[in-house]
Amino acid sequence: MAIDYSTLKNWPFPDLEHTYDDAATMLYALGVGMGQDPMDAKQLPFVYEENLRALPTMAVVLGYPGFWLIDPATGVDWKQVLHGEQGLIVHSPLPATGTVIGKSRIDEIIDKGPGKGALIYSSRDIVDKATGTRYCTVTGTTFCRADGGFGGPSGPVKPVHAIPERRADVDCTLATRPEQALIYRLSGDRNPLHADPEVAAVAKFPKPILHGLATFGIAGHAILRELCGYDPTRLKQMHVRFSSPVFPGETIRTEIWREGGRRAAFRCWVVERNVMVINNGMIEYVEN
How far apart are the two ends of the chain, measured CA to CA in Å? 53
Q: Where are the beta strands (DSSP E) in 15-97?
A: 16-20, 81-90
Measured CA to CA, the distance from residue 199 to residue 201 in angstroms comes to 5
Among 31, 63, 84, 194, the active-site one is: 194
Measured CA to CA, the distance from residue 117 to residue 146 in angstroms comes to 5
The answer to whether 212 is a known catalytic residue is yes
Among 33, 189, 239, 278, the active-site one is: 189
Q: H or E element: which one contains 254?
A: strand 251-260
Alpha helices in 185-280 (DSSP H): 197-202, 212-227
Q: H or E element: which one contains 184?
A: helix 180-184
The answer to whether 189 is a known catalytic residue is yes
The answer to whether 18 is a known catalytic residue is no
Among 3, 110, 126, 209, the active-site one is: 209
The answer to whether 110 is a known catalytic residue is no
Angstrom distances, CA of residue 33 to CA of 121, 263, 282: 28, 25, 21
Measured CA to CA, the distance from residue 85 to residue 281 in angstroms comes to 10
Among 33, 87, 98, 212, the active-site one is: 212
Active site residues: 189, 194, 209, 212
